[in-house]
Structure formats: structure tokens, C-alpha cells
Amino acid sequence: MASTFSQIKRYFSSLPPGTLISTRELLPFGKRGSVDWATHTLVNRQIIERLAQGVFRLRLPGNKPVSVAKIAEFKARIFGRVLVSFGTVLPEDIKHMMPGLEKDTVVFAISGRTSAFRTSKNRVVLLGMSKRKIALGNSEIGKAMRDLWFVGKRNRPSRATFEDIEPLVEKHKRALPWYKPLMPQWQTDRYLYKQFLHPLGTIPKQFHLDLWSVKEPLSTL
């Protein structure tokens, strides 16, 4: 029977150029210790490249650089998770709200628990998001509500502010009632209920949401 090392070497050689492979995908070829030794040896012999902890590809002259975002997405998929999309909020904004991070750190939001790993150039933090935040979906209004949730009711310092995001809430205001079960209380107070607590005309126009006129199901909005 072929050794773990020879099987893994042959497997990499059979892949299309640029294919990313994780350590987990190599475990059928042997025990974890043997797989780690094989990949370490293949990297040292310059047969494969280590792009990040547990992420490899066959070393070829025509290989193109792989972005940190692509590596993060690959790592997430391997563990059955997904990167969470934002609208106005960018990875730089997430990092800005996490003081003490190293300068070379890149932050992405992800479903599930927070984790971290290193690439050849960066430390990558995958910031876990709750199921409610993920359930908002990736529609324009869903991402806007997630942006607002992340920036927070205290409008923490960020490149993305309420003033940047709230026009999208106004644009899709008729859909908001269907998002109510997923919204934190401060969002429902600010965007659904606040206009009923004051005489008409005392709230800025963008917060007058006509909830009673919404007839269509969320999927059609």
C-alpha cells in the first residue's frame, strides 16, 4: 500500500492548476500526524504552497496570488460556514471596532463562532455572527439592517454611520415589518414604533413608515 506521503503527492499532481486543498480533505490518506508531516515535507520541497494554516495548492510557475478574502471564504466553506455579507460596513470598519488587533489583521464576519488563522502575510479573524444577524439575508434591506445592528444604537465610531445606511431603510420601508422578528428592540423602536409615540409631523419624514399599507409577502418586496 502506498504511503500517506506518496498518496498526497499524487493527489496534488492530479488537481487542476490553482485548486485549493485543506488539511481536512487530506485525512482520508492517513492519520492526522502523517498528513501534517506529508504537507510539511511537500512545502519544504517546494512541491506545494502553504497559503494559510491548513490551506495548500500545487506549486506551479503560473500560479496567481490568492486574495485573503478567497482564502477566508474557502476556510469557512471547509468548516460548513459562510462569510456574512454587509452593505456599507466593510472589513476595515469591523477591524476599527476591535481595538488591540495587529496592524496586519484582516477581519471578516462569519456564521458560527469566532476563529482566527494566519496566511503568509496576514492574520485573519473570522468574527462570528449570531443566527439572527445571518437570517436577515443578503438582500439590500437585509444587509442594511445588519449594518445598523453592527454599527450599534450608540453609533460607535466607524466609516459607516447611520446617515450612510438609513436611506436604504427608507427605500425598503414597506418590507420592514417582516424583519421585525429578527431585529433587536432598539431597531424596532427606531424604525417601526417611534412614529406612533409622537404627534404626526414631529418625526423626520424618513421615519414615517406606513405599516398598515403593507400587503405583499416579503418575497415580493
Q: Please tell me which residue, 96 or 189, carries the higher pLDDT value.
A: 189
Q: Round to whole Å and give the CA distance between 131 and 134.
A: 5
- Range name among 101-110, 115-124, 174-183, 195-204 with the lowest pLDDT average: 195-204
Question: If you average pLDDT over residues 45-69, what whole number do you get?
Answer: 93
- The mean pLDDT of 177-181, rounded to a whole number, is 83
Whole-structure pTM value: 0.69
The answer to whether residues 207 and 194 touch, using CB atoms and an 8 Å cutoff, is: yes
Choice among 20-34, 46-60, 90-104, 130-144 with the minimum mean pLDDT: 90-104
Q: For the chain, what is the mean pLDDT? A: 78
Mean pLDDT, range 170-198, rounded to an integer: 74
- Look up residue 84 and give its DSSP letter: P
pLDDT of residue 16: 92
Q: Choose between 8 and 108: higher pLDDT.
A: 8
The pLDDT, as a whole number, for residue 31 is 94
pLDDT average, residue stretch 40-55: 95
What burial class does residue 154 get, using C-beta atoms within 10 Å of its C-beta: 0-12 exposed, 13-18 middle, 19+ buried?
Answer: exposed
User: Helical H runs in the chain?
Assistant: 4-13, 23-26, 32-44, 68-78, 91-96, 131-135, 140-151, 162-171, 185-188
User: pLDDT category, 201, cuts 50, 70, 90?
Assistant: very low
Taking 80 as the threshold, does the pLDDT of residue 49 lie above it? yes
Higher pLDDT, 206 or 2: 2
CA dihedral in degrees (92, 93, 97, 102; nearest 10)? 0
Where is average pLDDT lowest: 23-32, 39-48, 98-107, 135-144?
Answer: 98-107
Domain ranges, ordered by start, for the chain: 4-58, 68-131, 133-220
pLDDT in tens, 77-135: 888 888 877 776 666 666 666 666 777 788 888 888 888 888 888 888 888 888 888 88
Which residue from 221, 114, 135 is spatially nearest to 174, judged by alpha carbons? 221
Q: Is the pLDDT of residue 203 over 80?
A: no
Does the pLDDT at position 171 exceed 90? Answer: no
